[in-house]
Structure 1
Amino acid sequence: MRIYSGGYHEIISRKTMASQTYQLGFIGAGKLAGSVIRGLMRAKFCPPEQIIASEPNEQTRATLQNETGVSTTAGNAEVAEKAATIFVAVKPPMVLPVLTELKTKLENKLVVSLAGGVRIGNMEKVCDARILRALTNTPSAICRGATGISRGARSTNADVDLTKKIFNAIGVAVEIDESQMDIVTALSGSGPAFIYTVIEALAAGGTKLGLANDVAMELAIQTARGAADIMLESKMSPEELRRMVVTPGGTTAAGLAVMEKLGASESLIAAVEAATKRGQEMARENS
């Protein structure tokens, strides 16, 4: 069996690999899991032959396999049996039933849940695996993901290190207490949709005033990208960077005044709060 030389085998022993067919297995291969898999392939984290994903939708399976070269199957049991590390990426109401169904095959394996609103303690009650949670987002597909990781009662430091290694390969990963996971779900998981809405609104402003739709959108996207990149590279605060753009009495000052009047910042804060609250509600529903 081929063992990827880029670092993964430093954590998964050759003895373990000899007893497994795949390094990584995904139960569910929809939008989020598909993004993670595509990111891992883009980052050359491991060969596609070392990943298997189960997905009930035939078209989704075929598309993923054609685009990435990973193995796919319709059966969750095959993934649970053959992969060393398992990612559970089904819809939140299905997480506990899936773990219950596969518990004998998952015993003492590393299982990483990608689902929001399902607590580690509830998963550990139905499955004797080493469980962690990793809440990531769809920019993982282009190695720009933002991921929060929480450890469970049975997970080891090596499990956490491996999970960080995987998600740092496709973006940024931070370890947090599970009590903060709903906030991360809102900020990072739902956050791209909030940012897309801001970009859409900026472009709509340009279109309203006469720019062609495609021109306005291209400029809005590049503006958001450039602003994010300069924040990352400069390490300056948003306030410091804002002061570099604003001239008293100028165009930026006029625009910011309207944003403040209409409560633009407050609406984004409220969006994060609402998404967090919904995550907490989902946790109660899936207990």
Structure 2
Amino acid sequence: MKLCIIGLGKMGTTLLYGILDNNILEAKDIIGCDPVVDEREHNKDYRGIRTTGSNYRGVEQADNILLAVKPQVLKNVLQGIKPASENKLFISIAAGVSTDRIKENLPESCRVIRVMPNTPALVNQGVSAISPGEKATDDDIEFVKKICNGVGKGVVIEEHLIDAVTGLSGSGPAYIYVIIEALADAGVLNGLSRDLALELAVRTVAGSAEMVLKTGQHPGQLKDMVTSPGGTTINGLQVIEKRGLRGILMEAVSRAVERSRELGEE
């Protein structure tokens, strides 16, 4: 099995390293394409894979193609490689571009799977939504799941839900960063040093998330475990409910979902 990765930016290289680190493929079975890379048989800058500045040459040599390019250039990329694309699997991480729009620019024999990763994939903690096109086989889906699991967790969903995933897990890290920053600021306001406040905030968020994952308990149950009658936590929660934090976060996700749909129609 040969893989061509078109686009060796942050996400493209992150997925590449996940593939190699988890022994999904060997370096000799991967070719990377990007206009800024040198033509090399073993490029040490990219863990020894072959690299080329020609997308067409890369696609010619592969069975599976990972499209890790910006959505605004995807159409031109597909049109440039179309003659070399018969009977191949295309995996696209281009945000907002549907499988139907991708197929319009490829031969009829191609299979397409759309993937929506999020930025925590850069530290192997990502969650990626996988939406198979109608021609994708079970083997295709399993291959893509292995790639996504190499940088976190891959979940298979129907494509009509991918905008919801974009609004929640795609945009969600930004909301969590704001929460972390606010918690740290509150620590500073109450006398903690900036470095200590930030570390406490980060580890509190990370540890709480790990508790949900490891215990399998509902967040509400875990919240109740640290909320004693008349204590500090319930007093803080009263402020959160009064200020409407839940509603703000729900509205933020919903607006991001709406914007994702808008971008898909542009």
TM-score, scaled relative to structure 1: 0.84
* Deviation string, structure 1 residues 127-147 (Cα, Å, up to 9, x no partner): 022111011112223322211
Deviation at 1:65, TM superposition (A): 5.3
Aligned-partner SS, 1:134: strand
Q: What residue in structure 1 maps to residue 153 of structure 2?
A: 172
- Structure 1 segments of 4 or more deviating over 4 A? none
Deviation at 1:254, TM superposition (A): 1.7
Identity %: 39
Aligned partner of 2:216 among 226, 232, 235: 235
Q: What residue in structure 1 maps to residue 99 of structure 2?
A: 120
2:225 pairs with 1:258? no
Q: Supply the RMSD in Å over aligned alpha carbons.
A: 2.2
2:227 pairs with 1:246? yes
Deviation at 1:228, TM superposition (A): 1.0
Q: What residue in structure 2 maps to residue 54 of structure 1?
A: 33
Q: Which runs of 5+ in 1 are unaligned?
A: 1-16, 18-22
Q: What residue in structure 2 maps to residue 106 of structure 1?
A: 85
The number of residues matched between the two structures is 261
8 Å contact kept, 2:18–2:147 = no
Deviation at 1:119, TM superposition (A): 0.9
Aligned-partner SS, 2:31: strand
TM-score, scaled relative to structure 2: 0.90
Q: Which runs of 5+ in 2 are unaligned?
A: none
C-alpha distance in 1 between matches for 2:46 and 2:185:
33
Which residue type is aligned with residue 274 of structure 1?
R
| Worse-superposed segment, 31-40 or 213-222 | 31-40
Describe the shift of the 1:211–1:90 C-alpha distance in structure 2 as closer, same or farther (beyond 3 A): same
2:11 pairs with 1:66? no
Bigger relative contact order (CA 8 A; separation at least 6): 1
Q: What residue in structure 1 maps to residue 63 of structure 2?
A: 84
Describe the shift of the 1:143–1:42 C-alpha distance in structure 2 as closer, same or farther (beyond 3 A): farther
Describe the shift of the 1:44–1:257 C-alpha distance in structure 2 as closer, same or farther (beyond 3 A): farther
